[in-house]
Amino acid sequence: MSNGIKTLVMAALGAAAASCVSDGNIVEIPAEVMADKVRGGWAGKMIGVMYGRPMEFAVTDRMYTDSIKWSPENVAGALGEDDIYGQMNFMATMEQYGQDVPVDSLAKNFAFAEFSLCHANLQARKNYLDGENPAALSTVVNNIHCEDIDFQIECDFIGFINPCMPQSSNRMCEKVGSIMSAADGLYAGMYVSAMHAIAYECSDIDSIVERALGAIPAESTYAACVRDVIEAHKANPADWTAAWRMLDEKWAPYDVCTPYHSFNIDAKLNGAYVVTGLLYGDGDWYRTMSITVGCGQDTDCNTATAAAVLGIVNGYDAIPDNLKSHIPAIADSCFTYTTYSFNRAVDQSMKFIDENVTANGGSVADGVYRIKSQKPVSPAYMSGFGDMRVGELVPVSDGTRWKFEGAWEDFVYGSGDDAPYRVSTRPGDIAEIDFDGTGVAILGSWNTDAGCGEAYIDGKKVRDFDCYYVTEAGKYEGNRAYLFFVRGLEPGRHSLRIVNADRCNPASSANRIYIEKMIAYK
């Protein structure tokens, strides 16, 4: 497109973008501008993930204020990033079966994908392989990781393919996101997808951030966390570190899933870091990404999300050359575990956009998308883990708390992971521990030789659990397996009894149960 023509079409789009159109208005986007924004979104995701990659979980309890080293060639690393190939698995399933594909097909293809998974995704995969109903893989009962960051980093394509249509993106999020998330974990994907959708017709970052909140329940803790960043920015727009300190004091203690490790993958905290980068970055690519990295924690995921928003707002052509100059050299190279390259991802996204614009009352004709803009609408509120906090962690090495009966053995993974385990080797083995709290979980490992267990609280059986998995899972210190968890107990003292049941998955080679820690919640 010539510079003169592009100036005219961008000026026409800018009239709508500056005002951030309301529900039902028709937004006209020339096809060339639409394609430029789609390229910008995917390029932003690639650039952001590699800009933040060197600092991923390198800073978990403080801000990072040093400079970020960048070379245009770094973007090639995005071809192997799970932030991108993970969500492309869902894209490929939709391409194969159509965008109305049932959740079972999405879950099946994700469960049997070649790539390894962590946290919420891993638990969802195990639940599917264990025969759980695909519609209930990641409820707050079935997946303790359901409010982790996983869907927040895998939802971008949903916003990419629903321009100006956050209601449509929410419907898609409900299906895809339910595979690995619920409550705040689901709202995280809805919020990010809504930002992407709104970014097609709104160039004001503050407006995008605030309008997208309409896509999630106002009473959710995710929404409350984002609102706190918005208020901090309004009160002191020049100092992002003040917002970080507020988040660190008020929201960082929410860490239901990884209290055993220094990193925090809570969706709302990392989502708040994305918003911090966007608001205080004020539209500047380097400042936005540097602030997002500066917040720490899951820096590659968070920076990729923030940069994808900027990519849609500004389009590919407006991305600084130092960030995008190497993309043409790899534009036809496939992302790991996929048949998608950058160019093919853009092309398929455009095909999905054609379908979605038409399905939602718009039209595509004469080189122009006429989109019926949608006001974000929140789903019904779903409560998650709320203000649940970790009370204590008790390792199996604490002989004053744990009591073991039967053929238990000591076990250590080694290779830098010296955490002590106890391993039950026979049916009938018993482990007991008392705790104070309203919830309890057992950390350990799944394995190919693992069996089934029964959990009793105060003498009453509350869970049957199966520790078999197709590979060894839990060896990675930051990705321990939760054998089971129970919440909603009456406050006070409780007794937990674990029994190695006389049964196991037919595929398991033994009846072993690997236990590392007990976690009590309050």
Q: Specify the DSSP element, H or E, that contains 219.
A: none
**How far is it, in rounded angstroms, from Cα 264 to Cα 479?**
12
Q: Which tokens in the block code for residue 111?
A: 């469960």
Q: What are the tens digits of pLDDT across the range 472-503? A: 887 777 778 999 999 999 999 999 999 999 89
Q: Is the pTM of this model over 0.75?
A: yes
What's the pLDDT score for residue 6?
40
Residue with tokens 């849609």: 312
Q: Which tokens in the block code for residue 208?
A: 């995008």
Average pLDDT score over residue span 230-247? 97
Burial environment of residue 502 by CB neighbours within 10 A (0 to 12, 13 to 18, 19 or more)? exposed
The SS3 assignment for 372 reads strand
- Among candidates 221, 147, 149, which has minimal Cα distance to 387? 221
260 has a pLDDT exceeding 80: no
CATH number of 390-521: 2.60.120.260
The SS3 assignment for 513 reads strand
What's the pLDDT score for residue 324?
98
- pLDDT averaged over the chain? 93
The DSSP code sequence of 52-94 is HGGGTTT-SSS---S-----GGGGGGGGG-HHHHHHHHHHHHH
In angstroms, how far apart are the furthest CA atoms of the chain?
80
**How far is it, in rounded angstroms, from Cα 376 to Cα 165?**
8
Residue with tokens 């500004």: 314
Q: What are the tens digits of pLDDT across the range 407-466? A: 999 999 988 889 999 999 999 999 999 999 999 999 999 999 999 999 999 999 999 999
Q: What percent of the chain has pLDDT over 90?
A: 85
What's the pLDDT score for residue 8?
36
CATH class in words for 3-372: mainly alpha
Residue 58: band (very low, low, confident or very high) from pLDDT cuts 50, 70, 90:
confident
The DSSP code sequence of 40-57 is HHHHHHHHHHHHHGGGTT
Domain boundary assignment for the chain:
3-372, 390-521
